[in-house]
Chain A
Amino acid sequence: MKRTADVTGEVTTLDKRVASLDDATQALAETRDFGKPAKLRRVLEALRRVLLQSGGAAAVQARAQTLEEAGVFQGTDWASPEILLPALVGPGLHAGEADTVVMEATSELRMLAVARGDFAHPTMSAEDARQFLSQVLAMNLELLFTPPSEAERVRQGRTAQLIRDLFRHLADEIGYDTVLDKLVDEIWRVLRQRPIQVEQMRSLITRISIYRGDPDVDLGSASGQGIDRLITSLFGTTEASRDDPGVDVFRSRLEAMDTGGVQSEATGFARAMHDTGLVSPYHAELLRYLVNESDYLLGEALGLSETGRNCLLRYRDLVHRLIEEAVHPSTAQCVYGLALLLDRGILHEPPVVPALWRQLALELAPAARERLLLVFGDQPSPEARLTAGALSMLGQPLGVGQGDNPTCQSARALSMWAYNDPDYLLQMVVWAARDDEIIMHFEGQPISSRESEGGVATTLPMDLDPVSLLVVPHLDRIYAEMGRRCAGRPGDPHRWVNPEFHGWWAFRGFRINVDVQTGNLIDLDEFLRQFHASYHPAYNGGQPLIHPQPAGVAVTDSAARYVGWHAITILRAAPDPQDVMRVYFFNPNNDSGQDWGDGVVVSTAGNGERFGEASLPFDQFASRLYIFHADPLEHGRSEEVPAEDIERIVGYIERSWGADRLPAGMLQASRNPEA
């Protein structure tokens, strides 16, 4: 028998596994397309076994071209590297399915071979590949720094370590300097949307600062533009906290300072906070100190506008109590919420102040307390956590995120109430936190969250802010129950559910351009005209939108393929600084900046967006819209919308999610009787 060992002498495990991979790849390559699926399994298993070995990633990288040409990626998205999205690499690598992880990892190593110029790829340039990998690394930087979490280990076993080895290899080859630049850009981009939950960003920034302090790490030149601002917004923001001395030392320094010094501390923290949306734990300590010192300096430390300062002074007892109760170094982030809450002037709405006093005295139901303790620990108390969460949500209504849960409707409702109906939100919090039950009414019939079985989410969501953590499970069940009560009615249940669920101000008029039975597009022309007549200032009499309105969009991926239906809020339609009419909307997703393909790229900054808003040009937005509400008594001038505008939008639809939903003679389809 021919033994490989006779030829090479010492045969390592890696050598053996690579030989087996080469054999499997060869068999795949020799097979015509139809036979490939049967031979792929062995290649993937061989790849995984090679990648598990030290030096495995380099071995796969060296074979990237052979693997691709053998057809490893054939019939999958990975076959077209030019359409791959850096943002999807993380989920791919964390998939429970080992084959998916292996494909994803192999695709990264192929990108690396392309970026290094070892593989002249027909559809991907070396520069694009490098850019792609930099973004992938930036978005998954935690893979470079942290060991697998317990959850990852349970789900992925030793694959969790495999992807870390892969990332170290990628970073070694690509270089950390570009990673850092991308990472910092990415952090800034997300922070510009002012999310309530910034834990992930904080931990990333913390890790980078540790990494930068490591003398063994050479970051190259000119890297990390803007990283200093991020790091100093958390650590060493001001003179007294420069050396990250710990809260106690900082406090004693404050106590020893003259007014000028404290003033400069206050403005320093305020500037950093409003710049980045991040709050330093020292900032919280400063506020706790200032409560007993000076309302003027408190206003300085919060960076308040005239309105905010006015609210602070008018309701100073309440604000003081809120700070004493909720603001702690470990809940520092709520300082930003408090500042914006004051600036919004909502304390001038009669029910809000007493509702906040109630919040301060609230006693939690055991279930609510347990949930808060489970997720946030006991420092500070669950009551303080919840109040801090309420401050954040009231100050940053567009910062609500749904986490990794299919609960976009509930997150959207919370955001709407915080934005539009703050005392109602506080009422919801009381019901959920104190009573562990929310009762809403649907067409006169009460629906209890306690009696309703099963929501949209199959497991209790954990990765949420304190308010969402308590309220979302109730809302989710009620929302699902409302849907169940519409079972059997013709058409889409959102017609009835949306107004009942969100509030009287959600318009009762309802438009949908998808036939629920067949999934085909219907009434497209009329749908789009009515949307213009209701929302476009040029066709609705120049009326700005008064209340935020629920709407549904067909989300598409970067190749413009349909991904799923998604709940969003339309906030306003207005011309941007370039005079392009845009729709500004809220997306309960954690990151609204998404590429929906065919040139439709959702913008989150730079086009007149306020913090937390996403926006698209009016026509592009209309092209992804499938449900909207309108006031049936407001007519607008739908007939004046030029045919070419409609055609252009229909073009966007046909090239994306509508591609396989067009029945013959679509534009002549019967009119919706609800019109």
Chain B
Amino acid sequence: MPQAEPATKNPDKGYVALLGWSLNAVEALDRFDRRYVVVAPDWAEEYCFEHDIPYVLWNFERLNDRSMEIAETLKREGVDVAIPLFEETVEWAGAINSVLLDNPRLFGQAMLLRDKALMKRRAQLGGIRVGIFEEAHDRGDVIRFLKRVNQTLLKLDGDPNDPIHLKAFDKAGSLGHRVIRTPDEIDSIPDDEFPVLMESHLDGWEFAVEAWIHQGKIKFLNISEYVRLGYSVFVPATPELERFRPQITAQIEKLIKTFDIEFGFVHPEYFVTSDGEMYFGEVAYRPPGFKVFELMERAYGFNAYQALALAFDPKTTEEEIEAFFPREVVDASGVAGCFGVYPRRRVVSDLQIPEDTEDDDYYESHDLSAPLEETVTKRTAFGTHWGLLYFFGDDPYRMREVLKKQEELDFYV
């Protein structure tokens, strides 16, 4: 059997620590030339032991006085750098890397990247365009903000409000993301979701960027096109969006400078308005959700987790990283997309891939599982999908249509 053994490790290359448990990340590093160790809570221990995966136990709670412990453990172990895999481990990576790389500023940087309100202020200071935003501590703050934003937009009483967006300060992606249009919707927000960040709605085209950074320079920049936020995304984007690549690259460079990022990986979200103006949404210093890494591997053939290790590893050379990445867009063998399935009916009993989908040339596979319960819980916030459908094809416009079409289909009946 191929790959029954881990890949040979190069002792001259860096030794990386993966913060948090991600099977795909571990699997990718396992067959890469860098030494690695998984830092994860105790529930991962048995699995790692059983499969011979290098492992250090750590429960990522809030940073506290014991936080130095893990940094020192990793330092003794000879680890060169820590890579955050999840939003919750970003500040840990900052704290640990400030010790490993002897650079205290890294911790402050991580805190900026972790708090959406601080992040927006910093972006604003750096001359990056952002929408209107504010923190809310209770429902009263939300009502005031909703009113004020709509006043600013010169809306009259009775005009439909422009929505505002509510996001948790420190959660990934669409977790806890709500859209509020009317004051009565505010009542449905549970107390424990406060404080939140409120933002005005930007009526642009939203997209995400994945950028790998080495020595302060962008080494690979991917643009992920959303068909519908929270539902579908594909890689690489349509020429329609790719034509903004020069402006987007300039924005990312500005971001790198503003946040003083020397190495690693950023995953920001932007809006581009009809007149070509870019608005910064937010930025994360960790892999994106929605299996975008997997889509990139399908489209470009390189493993995005291995790319992560390269971009973080201080021992990576310029030539090495240049050779690793393909050329953006032109080197893609096709377009890879995925669609998150939410049941549309209230009562479901079977998983059934519609023939329309199944017969589509672009459709490849899905990871949906059969329903365990018949009643579908009503979604409040964006919620979590029940699994993804994967597509692959030649034409990004066709991909966009295909993904769009899935929104009207029932997968659970």
Asked whether A and B interact, the reply is: yes
Q: Hey, which bits of chain A sit against chain B, CB under 8 A?
A: 1-5, 13, 16, 20, 23-24, 27, 29-35, 38, 41-42, 44-46, 49, 69-71, 158
Given contacts A2-B333, A30-B3, whether A41 and B365 have CB atoms under 8 Å apart is yes
In contact, B23 and A45 (Cβ under 8 angstroms) = no
Given contacts A1-B394, A69-B2, A71-B1, whether A24 and B27 have CB atoms under 8 Å apart is no
Interchain CA distance A32-B7 in the complex, whole Å: 9
- Any A CB within 8 A of the CB of B24: yes
Question: Could you say which residues of chain A place their CB within 8 Å of the CB of B367?
Answer: 41
Interchain CA distance A13-B27 in the complex, whole Å: 31
3 closest cross-chain pairs (CB), A and B? A35-B27, A45-B365, A34-B51
A517 vs chain B, min Cβ distance (A)? 28
Query: Contact partner of B23 among A4, A38, A69, CB < 8 A?
Result: A38
Interchain CA distance A23-B334 in the complex, whole Å: 13
In contact, B31 and A32 (Cβ under 8 angstroms) = yes
- Any A CB within 8 A of the CB of B262: no
Question: Could you say which residues of chain B place their CB within 8 Å of the CB of A70?
Answer: 2
Given contacts A29-B3, A38-B24, whether A1 and B365 have CB atoms under 8 Å apart is no
Interchain CA distance A42-B364 in the complex, whole Å: 7
In contact, A42 and B390 (Cβ under 8 angstroms) = yes
A501 vs chain B, min Cβ distance (A)? 36
**Minimum CB distance partner of A23 in chain B:** B298
Given contacts A46-B364, A46-B365, A69-B2, whether A35 and B26 have CB atoms under 8 Å apart is yes
Interchain CA distance A588-B331 in the complex, whole Å: 64
B224 vs chain A, min Cβ distance (A)? 16
A32 vs chain B, min Cβ distance (A)? 5
In contact, B334 and A24 (Cβ under 8 angstroms) = no
A40 vs chain B, min Cβ distance (A)? 10
- Any A CB within 8 A of the CB of B107: no
**Minimum CB distance partner of B369 in chain A:** A41
CB within 8 Å: A-B pair count: 76
Question: Could you say which residues of chain B place their CB within 8 Å of the CB of A24?
Answer: 364-365
Question: Could you say which residues of chain B place their CB within 8 Å of the CB of A32?
Answer: 3-6, 27, 30-31, 51
Question: Could you say which residues of chain B place their CB within 8 Å of the CB of A49?
Answer: 358, 363-364
A189 vs chain B, min Cβ distance (A)? 38
In contact, A1 and B330 (Cβ under 8 angstroms) = yes
Interchain CA distance A34-B30 in the complex, whole Å: 10
Q: Hey, which bits of chain B sit against chain A, CB under 8 A?
A: 1-6, 23-24, 26-27, 30-31, 47, 50-51, 53, 297-298, 329-335, 355, 358, 361, 363-367, 390, 392, 394
Residue in A1, A4, A24, A49 with the greatest tally of chain B CB atoms within 10 Å: A1
Given contacts A30-B31, A31-B27, whether A45 and B3 have CB atoms under 8 Å apart is no
**Minimum CB distance partner of B330 in chain A:** A1
Q: List 26 A-B contacts (CB under 8 A).
A: A1-B329, A1-B333, A1-B334, A1-B335, A13-B361, A20-B392, A23-B298, A27-B297, A29-B3, A30-B2, A30-B3, A32-B4, A32-B6, A33-B4, A34-B26, A34-B27, A34-B47, A34-B53, A35-B24, A35-B26, A38-B23, A42-B365, A46-B365, A69-B1, A69-B2, A70-B2
Interchain CA distance A38-B24 in the complex, whole Å: 8
In contact, A38 and B27 (Cβ under 8 angstroms) = yes
B21 vs chain A, min Cβ distance (A)? 12
Question: Could you say which residues of chain B place their CB within 8 Å of the CB of A29?
Answer: 2-3
Question: Could you say which residues of chain A place their CB within 8 Å of the CB of B330?
Answer: 1
Given contacts A30-B2, A38-B24, A41-B367, whether A16 and B332 have CB atoms under 8 Å apart is no
Given contacts A38-B23, A45-B364, A46-B364, whether A31 and B394 have CB atoms under 8 Å apart is no
B225 vs chain A, min Cβ distance (A)? 15
**Minimum CB distance partner of A97 in chain B:** B370
A151 vs chain B, min Cβ distance (A)? 16
Question: Could you say which residues of chain B place their CB within 8 Å of the CB of A3?
Answer: 334, 394
Question: Could you say which residues of chain A place their CB within 8 Å of the CB of B53?
Answer: 34
Interchain CA distance A38-B294 in the complex, whole Å: 12
B291 vs chain A, min Cβ distance (A)? 11
Question: Could you say which residues of chain B place their CB within 8 Å of the CB of A34?
Answer: 23, 26-27, 47, 50-51, 53
Interchain CA distance A69-B3 in the complex, whole Å: 10
Question: Could you say which residues of chain A place their CB within 8 Å of the CB of B27?
Answer: 31-32, 34-35, 38
Question: Could you say which residues of chain B place their CB within 8 Å of the CB of A4?
Answer: 333, 394
B181 vs chain A, min Cβ distance (A)? 38
Question: Could you say which residues of chain B place their CB within 8 Å of the CB of A158?
Answer: 355
B339 vs chain A, min Cβ distance (A)? 14
**Minimum CB distance partner of B364 in chain A:** A20
Question: Could you say which residues of chain B place their CB within 8 Å of the CB of A45?
Answer: 364-366
**Minimum CB distance partner of A21 in chain B:** B364
Query: Contact partner of B51 among A2, A5, A33, A69, CB < 8 A?
Result: A33
Interchain CA distance A27-B331 in the complex, whole Å: 19
Interchain CA distance A29-B31 in the complex, whole Å: 11
Given contacts A32-B27, A34-B51, A46-B365, whether A5 and B4 have CB atoms under 8 Å apart is no
Interchain CA distance A23-B364 in the complex, whole Å: 11
Residue in B1, B4, B355, B392 with the greatest tally of chain A CB atoms within 10 Å: B1
**Minimum CB distance partner of B335 in chain A:** A1
B247 vs chain A, min Cβ distance (A)? 22
Interchain CA distance A13-B26 in the complex, whole Å: 34
Interchain CA distance A16-B361 in the complex, whole Å: 8
**Minimum CB distance partner of B331 in chain A:** A2
Question: Could you say which residues of chain B place their CB within 8 Å of the CB of A35?
Answer: 23-24, 26-27, 30
B276 vs chain A, min Cβ distance (A)? 24
Interchain CA distance A291-B131 in the complex, whole Å: 99
In contact, A31 and B3 (Cβ under 8 angstroms) = yes
Interchain CA distance A630-B1 in the complex, whole Å: 54
5 more A-B contacts (CB under 8 A) besides A32-B31, A44-B365, A69-B2?
A1-B394, A31-B27, A32-B4, A46-B364, A49-B363
**Minimum CB distance partner of B299 in chain A:** A1
Interchain CA distance A24-B367 in the complex, whole Å: 14
Residue in A2, A32, A158 with the greatest tally of chain B CB atoms within 10 Å: A32
Interchain CA distance A201-B5 in the complex, whole Å: 51
Question: Could you say which residues of chain A place their CB within 8 Å of the CB of B331?
Answer: 2
**Minimum CB distance partner of B368 in chain A:** A41
Question: Could you say which residues of chain A place their CB within 8 Å of the CB of B6?
Answer: 32
Interchain CA distance A296-B24 in the complex, whole Å: 82
Question: Could you say which residues of chain B place their CB within 8 Å of the CB of A13?
Answer: 361
**Minimum CB distance partner of A68 in chain B:** B1
A24 vs chain B, min Cβ distance (A)? 7
Question: Could you say which residues of chain A place their CB within 8 Å of the CB of B364?
Answer: 20, 24, 42, 45-46, 49
**Minimum CB distance partner of B1 in chain A:** A69
Interchain CA distance A485-B338 in the complex, whole Å: 55
A37 vs chain B, min Cβ distance (A)? 9
B304 vs chain A, min Cβ distance (A)? 13
B32 vs chain A, min Cβ distance (A)? 11
Interchain CA distance A198-B126 in the complex, whole Å: 84
Interchain CA distance A27-B3 in the complex, whole Å: 11
Question: Could you say which residues of chain B place their CB within 8 Å of the CB of A1?
Answer: 329-330, 332-335, 394
A486 vs chain B, min Cβ distance (A)? 33
Interchain CA distance A30-B302 in the complex, whole Å: 13
**Minimum CB distance partner of A1 in chain B:** B332
A73 vs chain B, min Cβ distance (A)? 11
Interchain CA distance A44-B390 in the complex, whole Å: 13
B313 vs chain A, min Cβ distance (A)? 21
**Minimum CB distance partner of A70 in chain B:** B2
**Minimum CB distance partner of B352 in chain A:** A157
Question: Could you say which residues of chain A place their CB within 8 Å of the CB of B24?
Answer: 35, 38
Question: Could you say which residues of chain B place their CB within 8 Å of the CB of A46?
Answer: 364-365
